[in-house]
Amino acid sequence: MTDSSPLLPRISPPEFGAAGTANRCRLPRTRECGVAGGVRSCSRFLATATDGSFARVWETAGGRLLNSIPPPATPNLGGPYVCDAAFTPDGQCLLLCGGDGIVRSWPWAGGATNADVLIKHQAAVIRFCLSPDGTRMATGSLDRTAVLADFPSGRPLCPPLQHDAEVIRVVFSPDGRLLATATYGGSAHLWDAFTGRELTPPMRHGSAVMVVAFSPDGQRLATASWTQLRGSGKSRPGCRWAICCRTRAA
């Protein structure tokens, strides 16, 4: 621990407030310059995973730091970092993935400063997600595979899902029966979320697929990729290469 804020001996599971209510506070400035995996919240608590530094859990009401954990050491990738973070359904643990190719479960609420290993990849894990019922986990890695595993044991449910490029997005359908993955190479894939069987041919795009989303009823999947700005050498999210398809036969 490098932060001086006291740890709580035990924090009860999150209490969810009324719909439409929100608290606003300013978190203390840190040396990080950006958020790598984004921000995940479970109403009372906020988790941040920042490039090159700690994963942290904050109190949403006042912005107080409750606990933090160092990122994995990844010297082959130019330095340590955490790619993504999310709370378990009961709020007692924070799931983390990073540049060392490992997904960890960190029991932050009990004051722990170490984490248990759930899943191992051969390269950085960029994204993970839990199924809607909280019984399965999917991961996407730079080793060009996605893994479907039981949660919370981390036991694989099928062989790794093979891709032709780095897997950068994974998402379950609302009913948990389907899994969509997307790659840096410009393809999106649809899988059976229990057996790992690929259900359709890859959906090809012109560049990296940065967005995959199911419709609320799970009947359609929308994807979008990066598009190049002519003459600038820079990319931005765009819909030049977008696909919307049915996930099941009518």
pLDDT tens digits along 231-250: 334 444 444 444 555 666 43
Residue 213: its pLDDT value, please? 92
What pLDDT band is residue 96 in, cutting at 50, 70 and 90? confident
- Rounded Cα distance between 12 and 164, Å, is 44
- C-alpha dihedral, 50 to 54 to 58 to 64, nearest 10°: -110
Percent of the chain predicted with pLDDT > 90:
37
Confidence check: pLDDT of 152 > 60: yes
Residue, of 54 and 97, whose pLDDT is higher: 97
Please report the pLDDT score of residue 58 as a whole number: 85
Q: Coil, strand or helix: which one is 55?
A: strand
The rounded distance, in Å, linking the Cα atoms of 66 and 59 is 7
Position of tokens 């940065």? 210
Residue 78 has pLDDT above 70, yes or no: no
Give the CA distances from residue 219 to residues 79, 177, 225, 250, in Å, rounded to whole numbers and listed in that order.
Answer: 41, 11, 21, 9
**Whether residue 37 has pLDDT greater than 90:** no
Q: Which of 10-14, 58-62, 146-150, 198-202 has the lowest mean pLDDT?
A: 10-14
The number of beta carbons lying within 10 Å of the beta carbon of residue 234 is: 8
Inter-residue contact 74 to 124 (CB < 8 Å): yes
DSSP string covering 151-175: TTT--BSSS-EE-SS-EEEEEE-TT
Give the mean pLDDT of 179-191: 95
The mean pLDDT value of the chain amounts to 75
Residue 5, pLDDT > 80, answer: no
pLDDT value at residue 82:
78
Instruction: State which CATH number among 1.10.10.10, 3.10.270.10, 3.40.50.720, 2.130.10.10 fits the domain covering 1-120.
Output: 2.130.10.10
